[in-house]
Amino acid sequence: MAARAPPRPARRPRAAPARVAPPAGLEDSRQRLAGGAVPVSRCPCVPLSPWSRVTVWVTAWVTGTGDKTLVMVQLTGAGSGADDRERVTARAGPCGAAAALVAPCLPVAVTVTVTVTPRAAGTKPGDVRAGSSATLGTGGQAEGEDERRVQPGDAGRGTGEPRVPEPSSPARFSGHGSHPKGTLAPPTWGGAPGCAELAQDYTKPEVPGLAPSGQPEATVTGTEGSIWGHQTYQRGDKLGPQGLLSTSQPSSEPMPSPEEQEWAGPEALCPGWLEDEAPDGEVPGDSGDPDCATHAYERLQRALCQEGLPPTLDCSAEPRTGFGPLDMTVCILGSPTPFLPVLLEGGTRCPGAMVLCLSPTWASRVPSETSPGAWSLLLSRGVSFKVGGHSALETYVPPRRANYVTGTFAPGDPEGGWVGELARDLDCPTGGSVPLAHRLQDTLVARWVLAARANLPVPPTLAFVLGARGDLPSEPVAPGVRLVRLEDPQGQQSLVQEEVGAFLGGTAMEPYSQVVVRPAGWRWWGTGTRSTHRKEEGAAVAQAVGARLRGLTEEDSVLLEAMVPTARLPVPPPRSPAPRLPMALRICTLVCRSWGDRPQLCQVACAVGRAESPVRHGAALPQGLDSSLQQWGVVAPSQRQALATRLREATEAAMAALLATEAELSPQQRGGTRAHTDILGVDFLLACVDDALELVALATNSQRCLETCVLAEAMGRGVGEPRGDLPRLLAEAMLHRAQCHLVEGKDILLIGAGGVSKSFVWEAARDYGLRIHLVESDPEHFAAGLVQTFLPYDSREHRRDEEHAERVLELLRSRGLRPHACLSYWDDCVVLAALVCQGLGLRGPAPAAVRVAKQKSRTHRHLQGCRRGRPPPAAFAVPCRRLQSHGDVERAAGAVPFPAVAKLEFGAGGVGVRLVENAGQCHAHAARLWRDLRDDADHPGIGLGWGNAMLLMEYVPGTEHDVDLVVFEGRLLGAWVSDNGPTRVPAFLETAACLPSCLPADRQAQLVRAALECCRACGLRDGVFNVELKLGPAGPRLLEINPRMGGFYLRDWIREVYGPDLLLAAVLVALGVPPVLPARPAPRTHLAGVMCLGSEHGETLAGGGGMEALRELHGRGLVRLNRLFEEPEGAGEYEEPLLSVACAGATLAEACERLLGLCQGLGIDSQRYPVEHFLSHFK
């Protein structure tokens, strides 16, 4: 007679997070994901009674032939005490995979029964029958109670056909011998939870390690996979996800000690540490929700509640519509926990753009319309985030297309299976993939990348692999890492012993006394399976390596590595006489792929633990780097700053090396053409190497460092610390990648090609996937073959721009072109581009506003009439008068004080600008200019298509600066200030420049505010603008507004120093999309540059080999070379610079020092052209 489970005693009540009931629409997530077999997940057990109990963890791998497969896992415990017939049965299914067996007496024998019931269209009941059980006792043989009769061909539909036993060879469970109690085995797969509708069959992957001879083993073929749990458990046994015995891979290792469990990481100390604790009496896997969407939704609500944010608003009853090709969608797949701060930050920056997908049924994959062989991800449901931490569960009709996708790809993550499947082979940028995550979690691959490609110190490592590893070079050479390829591990014992002996006795091992032997590979990640030995125990080490080599697969490796201790420094005397324990310091860093694929360190967190068992993620609360270094005895602030700088450099070098390595992989190896690692965690150890502190790189990961750094961020906010940069940097990087995808394939009408200085436009258009349709006056322009459509049209007479605009519109209609945006980067064509924009109904600045900005005297006169504001825009205007005749000169001399500046009304490039001391000099300069510069043929590209009228304006003392603005609907999105060196009077030729500005922050803010107010007052509310100002003791004064992107070197310099691309920003604004730009831009380097003139440096650069040297240095990234012209333009007072050459440095002083040395070496510096004097102003 079956024994009834004893009543559950009353438990002490405890506070639990409030449960928020999932919306009714969430029940749709119980539909199952098609596209591959998914394993029944391992879920934590809930004790049913304080009595003697047994907890058994079971993973059942299932494949089926139908579109609905039901899995039932039944565990039966039988007591062997007073009444050994008493039995207790606990059932876990159809989605659960764990149960707790309760019996009044022990020992207990456990029976595992897995039943698979396929229901397929066209399949009659009974065609496939699967039901088996095995009694696992104290030893001996455990035979299957039932045999399964499976007809060949009943399974095996689809791409990967599993082995199907013949009717004469029924599959059965079997076990021989006995198991050492508490042995460990790694999980075999990190698939998605729950049962699934199966579109194809699944072949169970090989489990790392094979059962040694004489050890029990059990295999299942046909429609079932491996069964976990093959042991007799005694009173007091505690088993978790790591305390398992796989019947397909038993291990002969003893139960790990507490110290070894700490090495094993938080999985051994706290099973399921990555998951939130389930409320009392609940098991997420038992909820009947196959993909755990309900549980994930509840976790999201608890997390929002803990942050003090409102719960998610259920708006799913009213579908949202109207999402088009210009609406941005950043999709986060899987668990909400690690990405919640990023979702909240992204919702603030771009409300509604961040969407969380908690279930595979919320998204679908359709063939891409733009990338053959790829897929587009469409979202029919999601949780979107908005300003103030508000979130909403929404449905989208029609489905919403993702522009960027990332999620929880880490091996072993409960959502990893369906997340990886949805994110595979997408046509949009994908921040990671399952194959890339596997590479990150493989210690051998990570060590090779860190040592060989990033040139970082790693622990001395000897690696044994089987055959040719496709993820490693044929002859990998990495400092500190030796690779031994084995053909037959069982037959090459002597080679293994020789390699182990040579490694232990080598010079690399001299500083170390202990070694660690462990398997490596993504399947072993987080298992903690390892053994520690003293270096002198050569035989024991070789034996441990040999034991690990049994069952080695081609995807795995066995590592023998030095156990590197943390550096021990002298510390201040303790406050108490109690002895100090030796401690270990582990440094966790998180780096992201930022603008221009540049790595950027996001955050650093440290963990401290006992020296004999270094801590890992989750085993200790994180703390800051600076306080940790002080704790370790690094007292001098300069030393701590030097270590922090070295850590940043090492982390960013690791990311750069990883990206370079991924670029060499095939799309299949990356998990898609657009898949790249965008977030990387790197763990370091602070060691002492050759009596110096050194950062030793240990491993990489894709998610654990993110979770650790998010925890550190939350802890800081709990004690009043300001929000860190981590959520902002990650959100900006994701949104930026989404916007890059958003502009792909867009048709951009470009008015005016410009000269050599605009060559970057065509390269950028190719990189961003823009389809450029170019209207250009020169029918032989070199850009004709670099664009989608070349439309030659002579518009050089810009006083007839209204007529030109009508002709351009007719030209577009005749070609059937309907551009998405229209703009110009060429100063002469900005008014024409505004008129065409207006005619096409596209976003852009109003033609009237552009005319005001283009005509310099009109700009100042307009601003002088703007008297509202504090201060009003009129405060930045400068007295000036228009000059069209010598009579105008006389009248202007009475209104504008001397000295004054005379220049072209519509000029560009500084041509024709001159300082005049009196009316006579002004008459003389105007006469020469009106004689020499009459129309565009005399000097192309300087505005003579508008005529050669001049203006006379008051001379403004002070330093000269450029302010580049990004404005959307009148709102400032980004601003960058650069400094100009002293100009060469009287012609005001630009000599030098630097970025970022060396001005104090408050003076830079004055320049930015003045530039913005002047643009707004002129009506420039949408676009990228360059504003030239002077800053004197009384504040900024306006020189001129260029209603287009900054010219010369500015776009290139801003990209190099800050990351954003002004060209992309201009395209996005023209498309009606507000660009995502850094909220708190921090310079990554300092640039100082000097202009070279044909009259001063032409012979030196051409004849002395200087130009070839500059090109070589530019190719090596040592200088930045920006060519403005192929040949010198103009002569005398009408000369324009030939090129700009700049050097970078960690500080402005370092950049200037490098530049001065370069100019002296190449002959650019001279008495006539004193570069040192030009650079002396940058202080």
For residue 846, report the phi and psi dihedrals to the nearest 5 degrees.
Answer: -65, 140
Q: The tokens of 788 are what?
A: 């989608």
- Helix (H) / strand (E) element for 1091: namely strand 1086-1092
> What pLDDT does 1125 receive?
76
Q: Answer yes or no: is pLDDT of 326 > 70.
A: yes
pLDDT in tens, 419-429: 999 999 999 99
Question: Shortest CA distance to 153 belongs to which of 144, 145, 143, 163?
Answer: 163
> What pLDDT does 177 receive?
31
Q: The tokens of 742 are what?
A: 């958003």
* Mean pLDDT to the nearest integer, 359-377: 94
Dist CA 967 CA 886 (whole Å) = 40
pLDDT band for 145, please (50, 70, 90 cuts). very low
Q: Taking the alpha carbons of 499, 502, 504, 508 in that order, is the dihedral positive or negative?
A: negative
* Mean pLDDT to the nearest integer, 127-143: 31
Q: Answer yes or no: is pLDDT of 116 > 70.
A: no
Do the Cβ atoms of 173 and 146 come closer than 8 Å? no
The average confidence (pLDDT) of the chain is 77
Dist CA 340 CA 443 (whole Å) = 28
> What pLDDT does 244 receive?
27
The CB density around residue 785, as the number of other CB atoms within 10 Å, is: 8
Do the Cβ atoms of 244 and 57 come closer than 8 Å? yes
Residue 14 contacts by C-beta under 8 Å, 6 or more apart in sequence?
A: 280
Residue 884 contacts by C-beta under 8 Å, 6 or more apart in sequence?
A: 949, 950
Dist CA 532 CA 216 (whole Å) = 26
Q: Answer yes or no: is pLDDT of 1067 > 70.
A: yes
Do the Cβ atoms of 183 and 216 come closer than 8 Å? no
* Mean pLDDT to the nearest integer, 553-559: 88
Q: Which amino acid belongs to residue 193?
A: P
Identify the weakest region by mean pLDDT among 201-205, 593-597, 1072-1076: 201-205
| H-state helical runs in 195-351 | 258-263, 266-269, 293-306, 340-349
* Mean pLDDT to the nearest integer, 445-460: 94
Residue 973 contacts by C-beta under 8 Å, 6 or more apart in sequence?
A: 966, 967, 1065, 1074, 1075, 1077
* Mean pLDDT to the nearest integer, 1007-1021: 97
Burial of 390 (0-12, 13-18, 19+ CB in 10 A): middle
Do the Cβ atoms of 796 and 804 come closer than 8 Å? no
Question: Shortest CA distance to 981 belongs to which of 757, 1149, 1172?
Answer: 1172
Q: Answer yes or no: is pLDDT of 142 > 70.
A: no
For residue 924, report the phi and psi dihedrals to the nearest 5 degrees.
Answer: -65, -45
> What pLDDT does 445 receive?
92
Residue 731 contacts by C-beta under 8 Å, 6 or more apart in sequence?
A: 342, 345, 346, 349, 354
- Helix (H) / strand (E) element for 115: namely strand 108-119
Return the SS3 of 243: coil
> What pLDDT does 171 receive?
30
pLDDT band for 203, please (50, 70, 90 cuts). very low
Residue 16 contacts by C-beta under 8 Å, 6 or more apart in sequence?
A: 279, 280
Return the SS3 of 1115: helix
> What pLDDT does 294 receive?
86
391-401/313-314 β-pairing = parallel
Counting residues of the chain whose pLDDT is more than 70, the rounded percentage is: 73
The reported pTM is 0.77
Do the Cβ atoms of 359 and 27 come closer than 8 Å? no
Return the SS3 of 1004: helix
Do the Cβ atoms of 90 and 227 come closer than 8 Å? no
Dist CA 392 CA 395 (whole Å) = 10
For residue 331, report the phi and psi dihedrals to the nearest 5 degrees.
Answer: -105, 125
pLDDT in tens, 758-807: 889 999 999 999 999 999 999 999 999 999 999 999 999 999 999 999 99
Question: Shortest CA distance to 223 belongs to which of 143, 132, 159, 124?
Answer: 132
DSSP 373: T
Do the Cβ atoms of 323 and 316 come closer than 8 Å? no
Return the SS3 of 443: helix
DSSP 803: H
Q: Which residues of 470-479 are buried (b: 16+ CB within 10 A; e: fewer)?
A: eebeeebebe
DSSP 331: E
Please tell me the chain's helix, strand, coil percentages from 3-state DSSP, rounded to the nearest 5: 30, 25, 45
Do the Cβ atoms of 277 and 270 come closer than 8 Å? no
Question: Shortest CA distance to 886 belongs to which of 930, 946, 918, 942?
Answer: 930
Q: Answer yes or no: is pLDDT of 615 > 60.
A: yes
> What pLDDT does 996 receive?
96
Residue 371 contacts by C-beta under 8 Å, 6 or more apart in sequence?
A: 427, 673
For residue 1018, report the phi and psi dihedrals to the nearest 5 degrees.
Answer: -80, -10
pLDDT in tens, 1028-1066: 999 999 899 999 999 999 988 999 999 999 999 999 999
> What pLDDT does 56 receive?
40
Q: Answer yes or no: is pLDDT of 1114 > 60.
A: yes
> What pLDDT does 353 receive?
96
Dist CA 752 CA 1070 (whole Å) = 16
The DSSP line for 548-607 is HHTT--TT-EEEEEE-PPPP----PPPSSSSPPPPEEEEEEEEEEE-GGG-EEEEEEEEE
* Mean pLDDT to the nearest integer, 152-177: 32
Residue listed under structure tokens 């697969």: 553
Dist CA 509 CA 461 (whole Å) = 10
Cα of first residue to Cα of last residue in the chain, in angstroms, is: 92
Do the Cβ atoms of 227 and 112 come closer than 8 Å? yes
What's the maximum distance between 2 C-alpha atoms anywhere in the chain? Answer: 123
Return the SS3 of 786: helix
Residue with the bigger pLDDT between 669 and 181: it is 669
The DSSP line for 183-208 is -----S----SS----SS--PPPPPS
Please count the helices (runs of H) and the strands (runs of E) in the chain: 28, 40
Q: Answer yes or no: is pLDDT of 153 > 70.
A: no
pLDDT in tens, 831-890: 999 999 999 999 999 999 999 999 999 999 999 999 988 899 999 999 999 999 999 999
The listed range with the strongest mean pLDDT (123-127, 168-172, 318-322) is 318-322
Beta bridge partners of 375: 367, 426
> What pLDDT does 170 receive?
31
Q: The tokens of 917 are what?
A: 């001391």
Dist CA 550 CA 488 (whole Å) = 10
> What pLDDT does 1129 receive?
56
In terms of phi and psi (left: phi > 0; alpha: psi -120 to 50; beta: otherwise), the region of 738 is alpha
Instruction: State the angle between helix axes of 919-932 and 886-893 in degrees (0 to 180), rounded to the nearest 10.
Output: 150
pLDDT in tens, 235-265: 333 333 333 222 223 333 344 443 333 333 3
Residue listed under structure tokens 């052209």: 1169
DSSP 1119: S
Dist CA 1139 CA 759 (whole Å) = 14
354-357/900-904 β-pairing = unpaired
